[in-house]
A and B are shown apart, each in its own frame.
Chain A
Amino acid sequence: MLESFVHVCLAGLSKGMFIWLVASGLTLIFGVLGVLNFAHGSFYMLGAYFCFSLLSHLGHNFWLGLILGPLFVCLVGYVVERYFLRYVYHIDLPYQLLLTFAFVLIFDDLVKVVWGAGSIGSPSVAGLSGSVRILGRLFPSYSLFIILVGPLVALGLWGLLEKTWAGRIIRAASSDREMASALGVRVPALFTAVFVFGTWLGAVGGGLAVPYVGLLTPGMGESIIIDAFVVAVIGGLGSLKGAFLGALIIGLLSSFGTRFLPTFDMFLTFILMAIVLLWRPQGFFGEEAAR
Chain B
Amino acid sequence: MAKKKMTRRDFFKAGLLTGAGACLGAGVLKPTGLWAAPAKVKGPVKIGYQAIMSGTLAGYGEFHKMGVDMAVDEINKKGGIAGAKVVVEYRDSTLKAPEAIKNARYFVDSWGADFLGGVDSSGQALALAPVMKQLGKPIIITHAATEKLNEIEVFQKGIKEVFRISSPTYQDGNAAAFVAKDLPAMKWATISPKYEYGYTCWSMFKNTLAKLKPGVQFVAESWAPFGTTDFRAHINTILDAKPDGLYSVEWAGELISMMKQAGQAGLFNKIKHVMLPVGAAMDVLEGLGKEMPDNIWISGRYFFQYPKDKRNTAWVASFVKRWKHYPAYVSETGYSSIYAFKQAVEAAGSKDAKKVIAALEGMKMQSPAGERVFRKQDHQAVYTVPWGLTAADPKYPFKVMGKMVVIPAQDFFNRPPFKGPESMPPFKK
A residues at B contact (CB < 8 Å): 4, 7-8, 10-12, 14-15, 18, 108, 112, 116-121, 124, 131, 137-140, 142-143, 213-215, 217-220, 222-224, 254-256, 258-259, 262, 265-266
Contact = CB atoms under 8 A, between A and B. Distances in A.
A222 B94 CA distance: 14
A208 B216 CA distance: 42
Contact of A15 (B63, B230, B291): B230
Given A139-B265, A219-B56, A258 B229 contact: no
A138 B264 contact: yes
Nearest to B267: A138
A10 to B, nearest CB: 8
A265 B191 CA distance: 14
A223 B227 contact: yes
B239 A215 contact: no
Contacts of B187: none
Interface stretch (B141-149, B252-260, B271-279): B252-260
Given A222-B55, A223-B229, A119 B252 contact: yes
B10 to A, nearest CB: 35
B355 interface: no
Interface of B: 53-59, 61-63, 194, 221-223, 225, 227, 229-230, 232-234, 236-237, 239-240, 252-253, 256-257, 260-261, 264-266, 283, 286-289, 291
B58 A112 contact: yes
A21 to B, nearest CB: 13
Given A116-B59, A121-B256, A218-B56, A11 B232 contact: yes
Nearest to A4: B240
B287 to A, nearest CB: 3
B233 A219 contact: no
Contacts of B286: 118, 121
Nearest to A14: B232
B222 A262 contact: yes
A3 to B, nearest CB: 8
A254 B233 contact: yes
Contacts of A120: 287
B230 A18 contact: yes
A265 B230 CA distance: 13
Given A119-B252, A119-B287, A218-B56, 16 more contacts: A4-B239, A11-B233, A15-B232, A18-B230, A116-B59, A118-B286, A119-B56, A124-B291, A131-B264, A131-B266, A140-B232, A215-B229, A217-B59, A219-B55, A258-B234, A262-B223
Nearest to A217: B56
A138 B266 contact: yes
Contacts of B62: 116-118
Contacts of B233: 8, 11-12, 15, 254-256, 258-259
A201 to B, nearest CB: 19
B256 A215 contact: yes
B55 A213 contact: no
Contacts of A8: 233, 236
11 contacts: A4-B240, A7-B239, A10-B232, A112-B58, A119-B253, A121-B288, A124-B291, A140-B261, A215-B257, A222-B55, A259-B236
A288 to B, nearest CB: 30
A131 to B, nearest CB: 5
Contact of A214 (B240, B252, B261, B265): B261
A4 B236 contact: yes
Given A117-B59, A222-B55, A223-B227, A258 B222 contact: yes
A120 B59 CA distance: 10
A137 B261 contact: no
Contacts of B283: 118-119
